[in-house]
Amino acid sequence: MSNSTVLQKETSKVHQEVIEANQKYVSEFGKKGELALPPARSFTILTCMDARLDPAKYAGLSEGDAHVIRNAGGRASDDAIRSLIISHKLLGTKEFFVIHHSDCGMALFTDQIIRNLLEKSLKTATVDSSGWKNKEESGGSDEARFISFLTFESLEKSVIDDVKRIRNHPLIPKDIPVYGYFYDVRTGKLVEVEEATKIGRAS
């Protein structure tokens, strides 16, 4: 089966664009296949999945340089910490950056809000001045009651909380510095959260 074979009977415009972009990338891949498994610059970034953030650009990364862990909010969830542990223990990273960002969607709702929405519908919700609402209410599930969505009210406190959780985790060595920053979506600047970085100092 060739790499260009499409198994789906119908594909979207986005799907086609991704496959075409990959074909171009493959044609220019060069010697990247020779990159080593451990990240060359020995550090890891934990950041948000927000489409406005490009860690390669805001942190000056090339392929092979660093690990980048992304989730909604850039939170130090159990799974993010699992990845940090593997990043250090098996792949030799020596520094961690926690980077949240301004205008984050995770500050726009609470666990209870999203649980209520999902209980009534799995379709995409909308938001206006009166709050979040479903376009239609059918086919929902109450499974969301088992999920902590890790929402927050204060951007800086969220960075502090996550650095603190990583710093205090028994499987994260104390000699790994954990830096706390947020990315300003209006300027592209990384802004240090000094209290977080103090908490994350190596010892």
Domain extents in the chain: 39-108+151-202, 110-150
Contact 152, 158 (CB under 8 A): yes
- Name, in order, each residue with C-beta under 8 angstroms of 112's C-beta and a sequence gap of 6 or more: none
Which residues are bridge partners to 192 per DSSP?
181
Q: What is the pLDDT of residue 11?
A: 80
Which residues are bridge partners to 129 per DSSP?
none
50: annotated binding-site residue?
A: yes
Sign of CA dihedral 75, 53, 199, 158: negative
Q: What is the pLDDT of residue 187?
A: 98
Q: What is the pLDDT of residue 77?
A: 98
CA atoms within 13 A on the CB side of 179: 15
Please give the Cα distance from 1 to 24 (Å, whole number): 19
Please give the Cα distance from 121 to 138 (Å, whole number): 5
101: annotated binding-site residue?
A: yes
15: annotated binding-site residue?
A: no
104: annotated binding-site residue?
A: yes
Q: Candidates 2.40.37.10, 3.40.1050.10, 3.40.50.150, 3.90.110.10; correct CATH number of 39-108+151-202?
A: 3.40.1050.10
Q: What is the pLDDT of residue 4?
A: 53
Q: What is the pLDDT of residue 159?
A: 98
Sign of CA dihedral 91, 94, 96, 97: negative
Q: What is the pLDDT of residue 8?
A: 62
Please give the Cα distance from 142 to 137 (Å, whole number): 13
List, for the chain, all residue ranges whose pLDDT scores fall below the cut of 50: 1
Q: What is the pLDDT of residue 181?
A: 98
DSSP strand pairing (125-128 vs 95-101): unpaired
Contact 46, 100 (CB under 8 A): no
Amino acid occupying residue 186: R
